[in-house]
Amino acid sequence: MATRHAVVRGPHAVAFAAVVLAACGGSGKPADTYAAGTSAQEACCEHLTGADRDACLGEVVRIDDPGVATSDVNRATYACVRDHFACDATTGHATQASAQAQLDCIQDLP
């Protein structure tokens, strides 16, 4: 089993910790779901201004290991973020329903 590490910050840390800890397999040349999931979160923060925007961007999980994009575990779990992320523009975070859908997706991974 691969070792997984993440720096998790912010109020939605539980959902993203689950993203990093979930497990599954994959094949072929996969998409960079980590970049897609992270970009969706960052774009949501852009609805905010000033210190709120900066704080929101600071809470987005970023991992400085290039292996994150190629790990089967991370590809699958960040696909759940990419596929189920819906922005609440008033908060800059995922909607509650979206966060639940991400978690449900992750829990359904093999």
Q: What is the pLDDT of residues 41-80, one digit of tens each?
A: 999 999 999 999 999 999 998 888 888 888 898 899 999 9
Whether the predicted model's global pTM rises above the 0.75 cut:
no
Q: What is the phi/psi pair of residue 88, to 5°?
A: -100, 100
E strands in 18-86: none
Query: Residue 94 forms beta bridges with which residues?
Result: 87
Please list, in sequence order, all residues whose beta carbon lies within 8 angstroms of the beta carbon of residue 66, skipping any fewer than 6 positions away: none
- For the chain, what are the domain ranges? 13-21+31-107
